[in-house]
Amino acid sequence: MWAFVFKRTLIALSVALTISVLCFSLLQLSGDLALSIGGPEATAEQVEQIRVEYGLDRPVLEQFTTWLWGAVQLDFGRSYYYQSEVMDLVVERLPVTMTLGILALAIALGVSIPLGVVAALKRGSWIDRTAMAIAVTGQAMPNFWFGLTLIILFAVKLQWFPAAGSDSWQGFVLPAVALGYYATPAMMRLTRSGMLEVLEADYIRTARAKGLRTGTVIFKHALRNAVIPVVALAAVELGFMLGGSVVIETVFSLRGLGQLAWNAISRNDYPVVQAIVLIIALFYIVLTLLADILNAVLDPRLRAR
Amino acid sequence: MAHTLSPPVAAEQHFVGSWQSRLLRSTLNNRNLTIGLLIITSLGLVALLAPWLAPHDPYLQNTANRMVPPIWHETGSWTHPLGTDRLGRDYLSRLIYGTRISLFIGLVVALISGLIGTTLGVLAGYFGGRVDAVVSYLLTTRLAMPVVLVALAMASLMGGSMLSVTLLLGLLLWDRFAVVARSATQQLRDAEYVQAAQALGCSLPYILLREVLPNIAGALIVVATLEVANAILLEATLSFLGMGVQPPSPSWGLMIAEGKAYMFFQPWVITIPGSALFILVLSINLLGDGLRDLSAPGGRNE
Amino acid sequence: MSNLSSAERSTAPVSPLLTVKQLRVDLPVAKGTLHAVRGIDFHVERGEMLCLVGESGCGKSMTSLALMGLLPRKAQVNADCLDFDGVDLLTVSDRERSNLRGARMAMIFQEPMTALNPAYTLGNQLCEALRRHQRVSRKAAHDRALYLLERVGISAAEERMRQYPHQLSGGLRQRVMIAMALMCEPDLIIADEPTTALDVTIQAQILHLLRDLQQEFGTAVIFITHDLGVVARIADRVAVMYAGEVIETASAQALFQAPSHPYTQGLLRCIPTPGKTLPGSRLQAIPGVVPNLVEKVDGCAFCNRCDQADELCHTTPPLQTVADGHLSRCHFAHQLANPATINAQEVTL
């Protein structure tokens, strides 16, 4: 078990390093940084001054190690546009994105697991068919458009929730639904197929032969085993949602990491973009690592490995 | 009973005939596949015949005729069945030309990413060991990168255009191809006919292209349909965020972005291109589901 | 209900624990209806070991699942009588059914490797049935499980209670399954080929264990097997099944001494007997195939494989009493039971 965790952590660390190299190359690819920081009206002397100030005159490798050393200490340098520490900006925006992501995941799990279980239990019924229809349409709906449609329906027509802003919890409802809806189909299909498979298992027959109540058979014996792969998927989906927050936060004008990233991208503020890509990648890496460990906890057979 | 008396050749022909009719029958019986195929074919025709189908020039601006509502509104007219946009361009014509952008990007992206992913996956699956470790590492790294964010950043660096979006997505979306090709090849590696080819001293390219690839093609085609749909959605997302296809191209994502400011009073400006996207992606997914059922009837969970 | 049954137990020792009359199980399949069990009769006395013998597909597992009420919902179960200690299993509600299962009738399955839930400890799975059926404390359930694990021959039982199924071998898991079946002291245990999936040496141990426990606890057991060698070792009485019917029932002794159905005789010729079968000589196999149970079977189901069949066998043979408690579904049962008679008849003809 511990060897397994150690090995996975090692892989995670090296993946993180590779991604940081990629992020840094992104910065280098963006052309002459001093020029873009200075803007079109900067004189040659001003550009040169910026070059020295930001350390852009030093060799690439030195720049990379400096940046990486900073990144390890959670210092991602200064933003060109906001003229403040990147980390301060990130720390300010992160709570909104995390709230959004976790809410979206909660909604996705809250819809997909019960629906998947009922669909499997009542296979072929109208509930099953409705669930499959939701899965098929959910996968085909562009999430920014779904978000805009939610705004039209629930913010403009019905006026139940605000169309934008993260000042109150109501502001999070629509974006979380829009983000969570995208992750629902895959998790629901997995719950359903997992339940169908598990319900055929011999140990379910054993449980029934013991005279256990239907609820105990379904929830204790079947769901526990069917839900193991869903947990892994949920962690991965949360990672995707954090990445996808750039779209939803832009649509709903939420002041989160995604919106910050979009603003930074449109202003060529690369230190910020770099930092956010790396942070979201790190989240994904940690989440998949956690999913593996959680899987091992849920499935005793994996612990031996 | 009579068949048992007929010579083997005739029996074989009979079998081939029934195989084809069986395929046709199972295609027709598969509702997903039929519906998906029908919509895709018609949208493909729309894309091909766009110049003849579109009632107007999709780029022609007419400031006197701005924001005309579609036909189902009281003030709508048949001149512009789906109305006009904020610059007075005919919405239906833009929608029709937009089909070309979505389908082109979807298909080319799937082609590029399919090439990359299949190569990596087949090599990893066939050789295993160190090659597999390297590919798995690349795969893990690729999966850890937030696609939308990286694509946005890169597109803004390269300057948004149809070409840059296509290349970017092609370079990013190979992961599923690699996963499927890898596991399918692993299963094949020990198959008798592959081992027979090895024993006969066939060259490596021959084995990979003639023995392995045709046998994993079915699974790859299913992945390809999913990736076409995925690429179309991502292109729309990038264009919606202003980093994809640039104006005045009639990309559906861009049409939604341009209509966003008007959506509170004229919701159809985003409903129409959004529905078009939805229908296109839905039909591709139905096609993919149908193909999967067709290639693995036992593996179906419905 | 329990009061009634205990009263019955004391006053009417003659009534069997389980009476099955004309049990039929039909399963819808792609090509029609599979008549898996086609009207079988048997009974189980209290505390006896009844062996249901037959080859795979003869309906013996279907019978056991029908008794437990574990058949898939689409399966149809009909019978003239399906009486378990005064409870009519045909009309019993789902709720009462599940009150019986695990408490008064328990089951041991063929595949010990997959019959236990991989996600829970053995202790958890052992105790849950007892806690479901009886108001006992966690501690009492734990102690009972511990006692039974030791009783079925598992060492370091306390430690095993905390282990997961994958940490045990197949033989050990089957011992756990036996302990699990005994948790609520059931009146009847149905063991569906419990030794088939195990190594031969383990098989013998498990058989001994089952036999010992059955005698110690006075539990009636329906032991399902395809192996007459197993039957010879443990059975009190035997019911031989073929193509969804019981074709012969007798005490184990009577069955082995005077088999009165050609199928039973064929089965007996299939097993090697030490001292009688010469080394290197071929064992006899029964030629032919079992009839398709989706179609209607006319006459004797065995007649297409029987070397003694004649015109009469195209009519359905009645169940004939060969001796007291020895029944056979063969037109020639009496002749078969006493080979001397055949010779005599042949001479007279």
User: Using CA atoms, how far apart are residues C161 and C256, in angstroms rounded to an integer?
Assistant: 42
**B-chain residues near A243 (CB < 8 A):** 146-149
pLDDT band at B18 (very low <50, low <70, confident <90, very high): low
Among chain A residues, the shortest Cα distance to B150 is held by A277
**CB atoms C101 and A210 under 8 Å:** yes
Residues C20 and C146 in one domain: no
User: Using CA atoms, how far apart are residues C28 and A275, in angstroms rounded to an integer?
Assistant: 62
Question: Residue B298 has what pLDDT?
Answer: 42
Question: Residue B40 has what pLDDT?
Answer: 93
CATH number at C54 reads: 3.40.50.300
Residues C221 and C287 in one domain: yes
Tokens (6 digits) for A192: 């359903």
Average pLDDT, 10 consecutive residues per value, chain C (349 residues): 45 75 89 86 91 86 89 88 89 88 90 89 91 90 92 89 90 90 91 85 87 89 89 90 89 88 84 62 69 79 80 83 87 73 41
**CB atoms A192 and B301 under 8 Å:** yes
Domain span at A256: 99-268
Short-list B154, B123, B173, B144, CA closest to A18: B144
Q: Does A93 contact chain B (CB < 8 Å)?
A: no
CATH number at B186 reads: 1.10.3720.10
Q: Does B106 contact chain A (CB < 8 Å)?
A: no
CATH number at A134 reads: 1.10.3720.10
User: Using CA atoms, how far apart are residues A82 and A86, in angstroms rounded to an integer?
Assistant: 9
The vertex-B183 CA angle with B181 and B186, nearest 5°, equals: 105
For an interface test with A, which of C117, C122, C131, C178 has the most A Cβ atoms less than 10 Å from its Cβ? C117
Lowest-pLDDT choice from A150-159, B1-10, C283-292, C329-338 = B1-10
Tokens (6 digits) for C80: 């003239």
pLDDT band at B171 (very low <50, low <70, confident <90, very high): very high
Q: Does A299 contact chain C (CB < 8 Å)?
A: yes
Short-list C295, C284, C192, CA closest to C243: C295
**Are the CB atoms for C336 and C250 separated by under 8 Å?**
no
Residues C93 and C223 in one domain: yes
Q: What is the average pLDDT across B280-287?
A: 93
**A-chain residues near C189 (CB < 8 A):** none
Question: Residue B268 has what pLDDT?
Answer: 87
Q: Does C162 contact chain A (CB < 8 Å)?
A: no
Question: Residue B182 has what pLDDT?
Answer: 93
| Total of domains in chain B | 1
User: Using CA atoms, how far apart are residues C244 and C211, in angstroms rounded to an integer?
Assistant: 27
Question: Residue B104 has what pLDDT?
Answer: 94
**CB atoms A243 and B157 under 8 Å:** no
Q: Which residues contact A298 (CB under 8 A, 6 or more apart)?
A: A224, A227, A228, A231, C119
Predicted confidence (pLDDT) per residue in B33-48, tens digit: 888 899 999 999 999 9
Residues C31 and C84 in one domain: yes
Q: What is the average pLDDT across B97-120?
A: 95
Q: Does A211 contact chain C (CB < 8 Å)?
A: yes
Per the model's pLDDT, the better-predicted residue between B163 and B32 turns out to be B163
Among chain A residues, the shortest Cα distance to B234 is held by A142
Residue C192 β-bridge partners: C224
Q: Does B154 contact chain A (CB < 8 Å)?
A: yes
Q: Which residues contact A171 (CB under 8 A, 6 or more apart)?
A: A161, A162, A164, A165, A252, A254
**A-chain residues near B270 (CB < 8 A):** 145, 148-149, 152
Cβ atoms within 10 Å of C43's Cβ, excluding its own: 18
Residues C237 and C95 in one domain: yes
Short-list B160, B243, B149, B226, CA closest to A248: B149
Lowest-pLDDT choice from A23-27, A65-69, B32-36 = A23-27
Question: Residue B33 has what pLDDT?
Answer: 86
Q: Decide: residue A304, CB within 10 A, 0-12 exposed, 13-18 middle, 19+ buried.
A: exposed
Question: Residue C284 has what pLDDT?
Answer: 66
**CB atoms A211 and C111 under 8 Å:** no
Residue B209: inside a domain: yes
Question: Residue A292 has what pLDDT?
Answer: 82
Predicted confidence (pLDDT) per residue in A100-129, tens digit: 999 999 999 999 999 999 999 988 889 898
Q: Does A250 contact chain B (CB < 8 Å)?
A: yes
> What is the count of residue pairs from A and C with beta carbons less than 8 Å apart?
79
**CB atoms C115 and A207 under 8 Å:** no
pLDDT over 60 (residue B4): no
CA distances from C5 to A291, B94, C309 (A): 53, 82, 46
Q: What is the average pLDDT across B45-63?
A: 87
Residue B16: inside a domain: no
User: Using CA atoms, how far apart are residues C274 and C267, in angstroms rounded to an integer?
Assistant: 16
Residue linked to tokens 């184990």: C252
CA distances from B18 to A127, B85, B218, C74 (A): 37, 53, 21, 33
Short-list C183, C166, C3, CA closest to C102: C183
Q: What would you report as the CA-atom Rg of chain A, rounded to the nearest whole angstrom?
A: 24
> B144 CA to chain A: closest CA distance, Å?
5
Predicted confidence (pLDDT) per residue in A212-241, tens digit: 988 899 999 999 899 888 988 898 889 888
**Are the CB atoms for B77 and B71 separated by under 8 Å?**
yes
Which of the residue ranges A42-51, A197-206, C325-334 has the most confident prediction, judged by mean pLDDT?
A197-206
Q: What is the average pLDDT across A11-16?
A: 87
H or E segment and range at residue C240 = strand C237-242
Cβ atoms within 10 Å of B112's Cβ, excluding its own: 21
**Are the CB atoms for C243 and C296 separated by under 8 Å?**
no
The angle that helices A270-298 and A257-266 make with each other, rounded to 10 degrees, is 150
Tokens (6 digits) for C232: 């010879």
**C-chain residues near A208 (CB < 8 A):** 70, 98, 101
User: Out of A29, A140, A247, whose CB is closest to B157?
Assistant: A29
3-class DSSP state of B59? coil
User: Using CA atoms, how far apart are residues B209 and B215, in angstroms rounded to an integer?
Assistant: 10
Backbone angle region of B219, left / alpha / beta, with phi > 0 → left and psi within -120 to 50 → alpha: alpha
CA atoms within 13 A on the CB side of A132: 17
User: Using CA atoms, how far apart are residues A289 and A278, in angstroms rounded to an integer?
Assistant: 16
Q: Decide: residue B168, CB within 10 A, 0-12 exposed, 13-18 middle, 19+ buried.
A: buried
Output DSSP code: residue C140.
H
User: Using CA atoms, how far apart are residues A4 and A304, in angstroms rounded to an integer?
Assistant: 10
Q: Does A201 contact chain C (CB < 8 Å)?
A: yes
User: Using CA atoms, how far apart are residues C195 and C233, in angstroms rounded to an integer?
Assistant: 13
Residues C219 and C253 in one domain: yes
pLDDT over 50 (residue B8): no
**CB atoms A284 and B146 under 8 Å:** yes
Q: What is the average pLDDT across B141-158?
A: 88
Q: Does A158 contact chain C (CB < 8 Å)?
A: no
User: Out of A29, A145, A156, whose CB is closest to B277?
Assistant: A145
Per the model's pLDDT, the better-predicted residue between A71 and A30 turns out to be A71
| Total of domains in chain C | 2
Residues C94 and C227 in one domain: yes
Question: Residue A139 has what pLDDT?
Answer: 85
CA atoms within 13 A on the CB side of B9: 0
**Are the CB atoms for A140 and B281 separated by under 8 Å?**
yes
For an interface test with A, which of B43, B134, B149, B272 has the most A Cβ atoms less than 10 Å from its Cβ? B149
Question: Residue C204 has what pLDDT?
Answer: 86
**CB atoms A261 and B282 under 8 Å:** no
Q: Does A213 contact chain C (CB < 8 Å)?
A: yes
**A-chain residues near C101 (CB < 8 A):** 208-211
Q: Does A295 contact chain C (CB < 8 Å)?
A: no
Among chain A residues, the shortest Cα distance to B271 is held by A149
Question: Residue C9 has what pLDDT?
Answer: 47
Residue B24: inside a domain: no
Residue B245: inside a domain: yes
User: Using CA atoms, how far apart are residues C105 and C189, in angstroms rounded to an integer?
Assistant: 6
Residue C84 β-bridge partners: C18, C87
Q: What is the average pLDDT across B101-116?
A: 95
Q: Does A207 contact chain C (CB < 8 Å)?
A: yes
Q: Which chains touch B (3 or more CB pairs under 8 A)?
A: A
**CB atoms C116 and A206 under 8 Å:** yes
pLDDT over 60 (residue B14): no
Predicted confidence (pLDDT) per residue in B177-218, tens digit: 999 999 999 888 878 788 888 888 888 888 888 888 888 888
User: Out of C115, C166, C167, whose CB is closest to A206?
Assistant: C115
Residues C135 and C161 in one domain: yes
Question: Residue C203 has what pLDDT?
Answer: 86
H or E segment and range at residue C230 = helix C228-234
Burial B10-46 (b: 16+ CB within 10 A, else e): eeeeeeeeeeeeeeeeeeeebebbeebbebbeebeeb
**CB atoms A247 and B263 under 8 Å:** no
Model's pTM, two decimal places?
0.82
Question: Residue A304 has what pLDDT?
Answer: 59
Amino acid (1-letter code) at residue C173:
R
Per the model's pLDDT, the better-predicted residue between B21 and B270 turns out to be B270
pLDDT over 70 (residue B10): no
**Are the CB atoms for A90 and A166 separated by under 8 Å?**
no
Residues C325 and C246 in one domain: yes
**CB atoms A221 and C106 under 8 Å:** no
Domain span at C259: 3-104+184-348
> C132 CA to chain A: closest CA distance, Å?
7
pLDDT band at A1 (very low <50, low <70, confident <90, very high): low
Residues C176 and C221 in one domain: no
SS (H, E, C) chain A: CHHHHHHHHHHHHHHHHHHHHHHHHHHHHCCCHHHHHHCCCCCHHHHHHHHHHCCCCCCHHHHHHHHHHHHHCCCCCECCCCCCEHHHHHHHHHHHHHHHHHHHHHHHHHHHHHHHHHHHHCCCCHHHHHHHHHHHHHHHCCHHHHHHHHHHHHHHHCCCCCCCCCCCCHHHHHHHHHHHHHHHHHHHHHHHHHHHHHHCCHHHHHHHHCCCCHHHHHHHHHHHHHCHHHHHHHHHHHHHHHHHHHHHHHHCCCCCHHHHHHHHHHCCCHHHHHHHHHHHHHHHHHHHHHHHHHHHHHCHHHHCC
Residue B108: inside a domain: yes
User: Out of A202, A213, A214, whose CB is closest to C111?
Assistant: A202
Residue linked to tokens 């149908």: B290
Where among C154, C183, C212 does a domain terminate? C183
Residue B23: inside a domain: no
**A-chain residues near C98 (CB < 8 A):** 208, 211-214
Question: Residue B3 has what pLDDT?
Answer: 39
CA atoms within 13 A on the CB side of A89: 26
Residues C273 and C192 in one domain: yes
Residues C75 and C18 in one domain: yes
Question: Residue B264 has what pLDDT?
Answer: 82
**CB atoms A280 and B146 under 8 Å:** yes
Q: Decide: residue A215, CB within 10 A, 0-12 exposed, 13-18 middle, 19+ buried.
A: exposed
Where among C183, C201, C225 does a domain terminate? C183
Domain span at B258: 43-295
Q: Which residues contact B52 (CB under 8 A, 6 or more apart)?
A: none
Residue B6: inside a domain: no
3-class DSSP state of B77? coil
Residue A203: inside a domain: yes
Tokens (6 digits) for A305: 């490995």
Q: Does B211 contact chain A (CB < 8 Å)?
A: no
**C-proximal residues of A, 178-197, CB under 8 Å:** none
pLDDT over 90 (residue B174): yes
Q: Which residues contact B104 (CB under 8 A, 6 or more apart)?
A: B47, B162, B166
Residue linked to tokens 């149970």: C293
Do chain A and chain B touch with ≥3 beta carbon pairs under 8 Å? yes
Among chain C residues, the shortest Cα distance to A223 is held by C119
Q: Which residues contact A76 (CB under 8 A, 6 or more apart)?
A: A67, A70, A85, A86, A87, A90, A271, A272, A274, A275, A278
Tokens (6 digits) for A157: 């027509």
User: Out of C70, C100, C132, whose CB is closest to A212?
Assistant: C132
Mean pLDDT of chain A: 86
